[in-house]
């Protein structure tokens, strides 16, 4: 086995997900984008295939897949539809703090229903004035007997209005800084909870993004995830795990665009021969393929470090997210160029992939924030 060759079980999983993606998800991708509608048919195929269980713990109704499993599933889905890869990514991310830190009762009440595909989940951290600066969040949760009362607003929430459960971070101690933040499970039918404005976006149009509103929203104290005051630590740990998976999503988008561009270049003829035979195009495709492979290798390394708990995993996770998402933007843009005028139309998926790729440089921490994380970790190691 080569140094970077994956074990057979991962390649078997890739084959299964790719088959599902190409037959049951790709056919709905353009319509979901054009209509800005959640691709329910794609989600139904994902749920009914049983592959949804692959990325959840075995003791909670899943198949026990690790972070690399998670990354491969997201990558192969993103290869045909960025919006569909988000319903794969976000539900697992949404329950991540519950899996790691929730009480046994909370874990068993929530996670198996998400692992079966019966429910979907969202991760709710950002606010209008607390994006990269998470510690400045203003959503409050006040203890009232055996309940907490939440007031405030979250924004940029993936799957808003679709998800059945929301992991919500709120301030329980106003003057305690990052130690004053706690995490809660809010179910969609909770009194005082509602969906606000849904965003009109450049890309990922088949995945709703919107506001959550909390107006004296009362949740049971049993819905507190872990310990009061530990929410910030839980949020950062979840991000360390999710960042390489966002990198995998970016790799999938880039690979999908590369596949289309390569096929087109071998079929499109100018001056009596395929345009792939012109050195300018051939070298461009070579550079695109090299960047995609480099990004994939870094993403997989970050996933393996997260799973093993290796020192430096936070730094490499940020590197994987930074590098892979920049590659996705470059490669999808180059793919549009390879197709020329055709690439600028909706007759081919590369323009959609380019629009979808942009947000990967923004969410789960902007790539400027990733550089902050990387440089801090690097300097800590030197000290």
Answer whether CATH 3.40.50.1820 is correct for domain 232-382: no
Q: What are phi and psi of 271, to 5 degrees?
A: 55, 30
Between β-strands 224-225 and 181-187, what pairing exists: parallel, antiparallel or unpaired?
Answer: antiparallel
Taking the model in full, what pTM does it have?
0.95
Q: Give CA–CA dist 360/320, Å, rounded.
A: 12
Distance of CA 231 to the CA centre of its chain: 20
Surface-to-core class of residue 342, CB atoms within 10 Å of its CB (0-12 exposed, 13-18 middle, 19+ buried): middle
Answer whether CATH 1.10.540.10 is correct for domain 8-115: yes
pLDDT string in tens for the chain (383-residue length): 344 678 999 999 999 999 999 999 999 999 999 999 999 999 999 999 999 999 999 999 999 999 999 999 999 999 999 999 999 999 999 999 999 999 999 999 999 999 999 999 999 999 998 877 888 899 999 999 999 999 999 999 999 999 999 999 999 998 888 899 999 999 999 999 999 999 999 999 999 999 999 999 999 999 999 999 999 999 999 988 999 999 999 999 999 999 999 999 999 999 999 999 999 999 999 999 999 999 999 999 999 999 999 999 999 999 999 999 999 999 999 999 999 999 999 999 999 999 999 999 999 889 999 999 999 999 998 88
Q: Give CA–CA dist 258/349, Å, rounded.
A: 11
Note if 199 is an active site residue. no
- Could you tell me where the DSSP H helices lie in the chain? 8-20, 26-35, 40-49, 67-78, 82-101, 104-115, 231-267, 279-308, 313-339, 350-360, 367-382
Catalytic residue among 76, 127, 351, 364: 364
Q: Give CA–CA dist 230/101, Å, rounded.
A: 10
The reply to whether domains 121-230 and 232-382 share a CATH topology is no
Q: What CATH fold (topology level) applies to the domain 121-230?
A: Butyryl-CoA Dehydrogenase, subunit A; domain 2 (2.40.110)
Q: Give CA–CA dist 239/228, Å, rounded.
A: 19
Q: Are 157 and 206 in contact (CB under 8 A)?
A: no
Give the start-to-end residue ranges of the domains of the chain: 8-115, 121-230, 232-382
């Amino acid at each position: 086995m080569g140094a970077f060759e994956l074990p057979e079980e991962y390649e078997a999983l890739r084959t299964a997900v790719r088959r599902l993606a190409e037959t049951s998800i790709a056919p709905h991708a353009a319509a979901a984008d054009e209509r800005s509608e959640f691709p329910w048919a794609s989600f139904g195929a994902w749920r009914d295939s049983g592959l949804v269980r692959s990325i959840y713990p075995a003791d909670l109704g899943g198949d026990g897949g690790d972070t690399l499993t998670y990354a491969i599933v997201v990558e192969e889905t993103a290869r045909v539809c960025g919006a569909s890869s988000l319903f794969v990514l976000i539900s697992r991310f949404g329950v991540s703090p519950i899996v790691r830190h929730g009480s046994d009762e909370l874990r068993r009440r929530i996670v198996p229903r998400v692992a079966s595909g019966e429910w979907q989940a969202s991760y709710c951290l950002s606010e209008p004035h607390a994006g990269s600066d998470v510690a400045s969040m203003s959503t409050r949760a006040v203890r009232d007997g055996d309940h907490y009362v939440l007031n405030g607003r979250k924004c940029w929430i993936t799957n808003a209005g679709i998800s059945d459960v929301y992991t919500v971070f709120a301030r329980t101690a106003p003057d305690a800084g990052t130690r004053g933040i706690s995490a809660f499970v809010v179910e969609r039918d909770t009194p005082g909870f509602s969906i606000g404005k849904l965003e009109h976006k450049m890309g990922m149009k088949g995945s709703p993004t919107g506001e959550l509103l909390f107006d004296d929203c009362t949740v049971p104290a049993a819905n507190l995830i872990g310990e009061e005051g530990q929410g910030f630590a839980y949020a950062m740990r979840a991000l360390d795990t999710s960042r390489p998976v966002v990198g995998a999503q970016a790799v999938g988008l880039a690979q999908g665009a590369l596949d289309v561009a390569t096929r087109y270049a071998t079929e499109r003829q100018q001056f009596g021969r395929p345009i792939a035979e012109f050195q300018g195009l051939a070298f461009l495709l070579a550079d695109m393929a090299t960047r995609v492979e480099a990004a994939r290798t870094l993403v997989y390394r970050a996933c393996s470090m997260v799973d093993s708990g290796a020192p430096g995993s936070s730094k490499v996770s940020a590197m994987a997210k930074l590098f892979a998402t920049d590659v996705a933007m470059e490669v999808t843009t180059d793919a549009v160029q390879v197709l020329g005028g055709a690439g600028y139309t909706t007759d081919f998926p590369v323009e959609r992939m380019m629009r979808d790729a942009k947000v990967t440089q923004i969410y789960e921490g902007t790539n400027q924030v990733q550089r902050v994380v990387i440089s801090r970790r690097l300097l800590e190691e030197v000290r």
